[in-house]
Structure 1
Amino acid sequence: MNKFKILSVAFLATVTLSHAQDISEAKKEIDAEKFQNAKTTLKSIIKSDPDKGLAYFLLGNVYLTQKVADSAKISYENGVKAKDEAHFNYIGLGQIDLNANNTAAAKTKFELAIKEMGRRDFEEFVYVAKAYMNADKPDFKAAISTLKRVNEKYTQEPLVLLAFGDAYYGDKNQNEAYSAYRNAFQADNSLIRAKMQLGVLLKGAKAYTEAVKAFNDVIATNPNYGPLYRELAETYYYWAVNVPSRNDEYMKEALSYYEKYMGLTDYSLASRMRHADFLIVARDYKALEIEANKMKEIDNVNPRILRYLGYSAYFNNNVDVAIKALQDYTSSASNNVMSLDYLYLGLSNIKKATMGADVTVAEPILFNKGIELVKKAYDMENAVANDLSEAGKDLYEKKMYKEAAAIFEIATSYKESKNYLLDNFYLGNSLYFDNTKSGAVKDTIALNKADIAFGNVIEASPATQDVYVYRARTNSLLGNDELMIKYYQQYIDIVTKKGAEELAKPAVKTKLIEAYNTMAAGYANTDKVKAIEFFNKTLAMDPENGYAKQSLNTLK
């Protein structure tokens, strides 16, 4: 019997050590963002010993990271019933409360977890801080306050320092974040994430060259740590956005590094969705369509796949596929519908209504439906105006000016848009040219909108010389000779001030002749001396100008 007892104790010790090693392995897999591997490890621990509360908690955290809140909640609720370390699961349930905007309930659960911790423990504080940081609406100050409750004896623990770094970084305190990350890595040089985060600080400061060097320095010693490649992908993406002249080069690097990240983590559905999200911001819609169809093979009923199919199909001109996918996605109240979903559904309808080489007029019902959906997207989030320029310009180049104007009118409603100036210019031109088409009936309301749009351009960029010509033309159509003369004169003043080189340009010369002739015609009935003066300016530039010669003969 004594021998049996000794063997039993030895066996239990071995099992306990094995589970501790498995938990440690799961934590490493979570840190390395190998979430599918981590789930397999944690489920194996739970299956062999259902009383390991920490395993349920970590599994729930993985589910929350993958946006599977229902599975996370089930895991935490089962974990609360475990015999060992069950209290950690109150932290997970607390984060779910935070996501539901129930801060009071979350704090109650956090305190339940902290109450159960031992005097030498500190991890509970770290996980509570992470819950505040990882919530749908992060509260970094609450995370910092939580970490400051750690016993002074353990404040230099690497994981505490790492959490402090994340909290300070989220709270935009770069100096404290740098100090915490540096100290964390110095305390434990196997803590790769702390070293990586020093590069993240550089990325956030737009020091992209230095950030890439920092990440590559870490890769030189740890080439298989996947998150480094994700950070490199994001760095090159932001670099591409901030340096348009090298956009294609840097975006290619970004996509290459994200593929490397995927290869070092996993190709689960959740990871593929993260990849798809990155492909959207990188605007690689060919790759997105391929990824969406692979996800469809894995899980044909996951609604988010419809979003990816819809977006990629729109940009790849498969408008029927786009309309079907996005209609199905937006029609379900259970889906997390975003402004972009309505935007691309609307633009898909507009594209279908205006497709075809010989199309000169949009199919009205489909086009109007598309415009209403775009307006719905705009009402949800004004910033979608940034994504309207391309669609508007496409219609403008097809000479579908009325339809282009409908899009640019929405786009210019958002004054913070990065395309605000150019969209106003296109709006004014669209309305102007629509009124000069053969057989067009003058639309005074539309022309006044054009005048306002050109005025917005002038206000934002007074040196944009051609806008004065278009504003003058618009007022000429409106029959307002006084304003027509004013804007042509402003054009003349701008180009004359630039000197002889500018005046010698053929396009400028043509517009000057237009300005002189039209201004002269405007003065003809009120000030013949002025009219003659401007017609003579035309003849000084173009002695054979028939309109000026004939008009002068008439005036004399």
Structure 2
Amino acid sequence: MRKAIFVGIVTLATTFGSYAQDLEQVKKTIDAEKFSEARKSLKNLVSTAPDKGRNYFYLGQVYLALEKQDSAKIYFEKGKGVKDAGHLNYIGLAHVDLIYGNKTSAQNNIAMAMQNAKKKDTEEQIFIARAYLNQENPEYSKAIEAGKKGIASDPKSALAYLALGDAYFADKNTNDAYAAYRNAYDLDNTLLRAKLQLAMITRNARAYNESIKAINEVITMDPNYGPAHRELAETYFAWGYNETAKYQENTAKALEEYRKYMSLTDTSVDSRMRYADFLIITKDWKALEAEATMIQKMDKVNPRIYRYLGYAYIETGRPDAAIQAFNEFFAKADKRKIKGRDYLYLAKAKLASAMDANGVITNKTKFDESVVDLQKAAELDTKLSVEFSEIGVKLYKQKAYFEAAKLLDLAIKNPASKSFALDNYYYGNCILFGSIDKTPEQKATLTVEFEKANAAYAEVIKASPKTQDAYLNKGKLNRVHGTDASKLLAVADYEGYVKVVTEKGEAELSKEAVKKNLLDAYQFIGSSYAATDKVKAIAAFEEAKKLDPTNKYVSESLEVLKK
């Protein structure tokens, strides 16, 4: 969210301010993403010109860019009563409301702002657009509507087109976003943000060479334009992430460009934390630990430091230190700023602490705590399902079946996951293999697990009807369950297996493993129909006899059925 917020701040000061001389320099500082410097300058302006509402408003916007909503709100509250452009601060308050999900209050604050707006309300509409855009659940249509109103108010406003472009871009409407950015740049060819955003559209299409070329054109126009180096860093990383062969080379280039970005912006705590965030993305854990340690020397109270240390410690093999760091983070952080990934990494640390050197779970309490943390992670971010899947599959391969099932159960809560079908298959297998040796009394306590495993196999079959092992293992599961109802399900499952492998033809039927499974399936089907449908029972045993003519059980069953 941070990036999109400060995009909207660019050059507005000189466009709308009656005291442009002071804000002109602040504008350049903000556009260069030197937020600490901008904050100091704006605090000075608030002190020396307390009657100017835009001073408070832009200071609040800088705090929003730094994700310090409470500090932003303080200045918006102070600025809303100022006579000169104080009404803008109501839009700032609306933005804070939207971030915290207070939509009714946001609407009221926007209404208050518009009551005092002039007929030409381009500036207001631009920031209204950004408020709708830069929140946890963006309201794209409202952002687009506000952007269009800003253009209607001033058709020559490059900034209004920039805001509209950002709204379209966030809504994945690249054609209209491109047109809006192009219009913005045509209206003001000093607006490097617009040209940079055009390169971002190219990057999103994975045309990385073209995107890098376009970003370098911006750098040629202004070699000291820090944001271009940041975008270049992110482009190199995206290229490496999506093309494994280029990962090492391009990640190194990405880090080099990000360090250049840092040198062109500032080395404040806020800037260093942005760098730390990028180190997490690039998974440079040793560098993250070093950076977090440096930040800690500069700011001993910021809870984000403990997040960085926790991430670094678990990835460098120190789970107990990671647990301690995360405990500090959770105790001190604003609960609204805790992410699903924070709980995920705490869970990873506890899970690692719960295992011995061979990966065997030796501390059940720590393991159970890790599952609780993973559940919290899933509640906050369903996209983390791939992480739950990886941990679950690792436990599955170590034959910790019921433990793995708890993790995979979280993974399959996200049907949009790319591994959804496979995760369901592993979940079903966990219950099957974990319950085979259980006593009848123990199986009786697993009714819910058997039902969920059946449903999991059904999802696999739904996604891939030709996956024969899903039918086979579902049949085995229902035999292991052993109730009258589950045995009936097993018959249908085995019949499904027979149908699928038969349709695949001789190449499949000739495989020894398939022959063995078919023999087992036909014997179960035959024995299940023996008391209710002799014709089907005989047919099944006849097929079994073809596979194993010397099988005593099959021969004796046929003899009895044909009397």
Give, in angstroms, the shift of residue 193 of structure 1: 0.7
Map 1:385-400; keep pairs closer than 5 Å: 385-400=385-400
Matching of residue 452 in structure 1 with residue 446 in structure 2: no
* Counterparts of 1:388 and 1:371, CA distance in 2: 10
Match of 1:181 in 2: 181
Instruction: Give 1:513's aligned residue.
Output: 516
* In structure 2, C-alpha distance between the alignment counterparts of 1:498 and 1:193, rounded to whole Å: 57
Code of the residue aligned with 2:467 in structure 1: it is T
Q: Give the letter aligned to residue 396 of structure 1.
A: Y
C-alpha separation in 2, matches of 1:335 and 1:473: 46
Partner of 1:321: 321
1:267/1:466 CA distance change after superposition, 3 Å = farther
Please name the residue that 1:61 is paired with: 61
Question: Is residue 537 of structure 1 aligned with residue 547 of structure 2?
Answer: yes
- Post-superposition offset of 1:241: 6.5
Q: Distance in 1 between matches of 2:363 and 2:335?
A: 30
List per-residue Cα deviations over 1:452-497 (Å, max 9, x = no partner): 3222211221122332332233234345666556545544554454
Shift of 1:66: 0.5
In 2, Cα distance between equivalents of 1:142 and 1:415 = 29
User: What is the CA-CA distance between 1:245 and the residue it aligns to?
Assistant: 8.2
Contact 2:313 2:322 (8 Å CA) reproduced: yes
Normalised by the size of structure 2, how large is the TM-score? Answer: 0.77
In the alignment, the residues of structure 2 paired with residue 432 and residue 346 of structure 1 have an alpha-carbon distance, to the nearest angstrom, of: 26
* Alignment-mate amino acid for residue 162 of structure 1: L
- Displacement of 1:91 in angstroms is 4.7
Q: Any conservation in 1 of the 2:151–2:157 contact (CA below 8 Å)?
A: no
CA RMSD of aligned residues (A): 4.1
What is the match of residue 198 of structure 1?
198
- SS of 1:443's equivalent in the other structure is helix
- CA distance, structure 1, for counterparts of residue 58 and residue 492 of structure 2: 71
Asked if structure 1 preserves the Cα contact closer than 8 Å seen for 2:498 and 2:521, the reply is no
The offset of 1:302, in angstroms, is 1.2
SS in structure 2 at match of 1:107: helix
Matches of 1:407 and 1:153, distance apart in 2: 54
Compared CA separation, residues 458 and 68, structure 1 to 2 (3 A): same
Match of 1:422?
Answer: 422
Call closer, same or farther: CA 1:107–1:453 in 2, change over 3 Å.
closer
TM-superposed CA distance for 1:408, in Å, is 1.6
Question: 1:482/1:184 Cα in 2 relative to 1: closer, same or farther (>3 Å)?
Answer: closer
Identity of matched residues, % = 38
Supply the distance in 2 between the matched residues of 1:153 and 1:439 (Cα, whole angstroms). 76
Q: Using the alignment, how far apart are the partners of 1:47 and 1:379 within structure 2? A: 44
Conserved in 2, the CA contact under 8 Å of 1:182 and 1:194?
yes
Shift of 1:283: 4.8
Which residues of structure 1 form unaligned runs of 5+? Answer: 1-18, 540-547
Deviation at 1:416, TM superposition (A): 3.1
Looking at structure 1, the residues matched to 436 and 254 of structure 2 have their Cα atoms a distance apart, in angstroms, of 46
Q: Classify the secondary structure of the residue corresponding to 2:27.
A: helix
Residue in structure 2 matched with residue 471 of structure 1 by the alignment: 474
Task: State the distance in 1 between where 2:400 and 2:424 align.
Answer: 17
C-alpha distance in 2 between matches for 1:261 and 1:384: 30
1:165 paired to 2:189: no
Pair 1:25-2:25 in alignment: yes
Cα 1:163–1:535 change in 2 (3 A) is same
Output the amino acid matched with 2:305.
Answer: I
Provide the residue aligned with 1:275 in structure 2.
275
Deviation at 1:64, TM superposition (A): 1.8
Q: Secondary structure at the match of 1:388?
A: helix
Within 1, Cα distance between the matches of 2:474 and 2:439? Answer: 22
Structure 2 equivalent of residue 6 of structure 1: none
| Cα shift at 1:502 | 4.9
Does the aligned pair in 1 maintain the 2:494–2:525 contact within 8 Å? no
Aligned counterpart, 1:5: none
**Residues 1:370 and 2:370 aligned together:** yes
Q: Distance in 2 between matches of 1:384 and 1:48?
A: 48
Counting only pairs closer than 5 Å after superposition, residues 208-227 of structure 1 correspond to structure 2 as 210-227=210-227
**Which amino acid is 1:519 matched to?**
Y
- In structure 1, what is the Cα distance between the partners aligned to 2:142 and 2:183? 22
Q: Deviations over 1:371-392 (max 9, x none)?
A: 2333343344444434211111
Q: Could you state the TM-score of these two structures normalised by the residue count of structure 1?
A: 0.78
| Aligned residue pairs, count | 524
Hey, what's the Cα distance between the residues in 2 that align with 1:476 and 1:468?
Answer: 12
Residue 544 (structure 1) aligns with: none
What letter is aligned with 1:197? Answer: Q
Say whether the 8 Å CA contact 1:347–1:370 is kept in structure 2.
Answer: yes
CA positional deviation for 1:164: 3.5
Letter of the 1:341 counterpart: D
Q: Is the 8 A contact 1:125 1:149 kept in 2?
A: yes
Match of 2:312 in 1: 312
Unpaired runs of 5+ in structure 2?
1-18, 531-536
State the match for 1:353 in structure 2: 354
**Rounded Cα–Cα distance in structure 1 between residues aligned with 2:53 and 2:525:** 87
**Letter aligned with residue 455 of structure 1:** A
Show CA shifts across 1:266-321 (max 9, x none).
33322333334444455554444443333323222112222333333334442222
**Are 1:60 and 1:71, in contact at CA under 8 Å, matched by a contact in 2?**
yes
| 1:404 Cα deviation after fit | 0.9
What are the Cα deviations for residues 38-76 of structure 1, in whole angstroms up to 9, with x where unaligned? 234444556666666544433332122112234334444
Work out whether residues 496 and 503 of structure 1, in 8 Å CA contact, stay in contact via their aligned partners in 2.
Answer: yes
1:247 and 1:499 map into 2 onto residues whose CA distance is 43
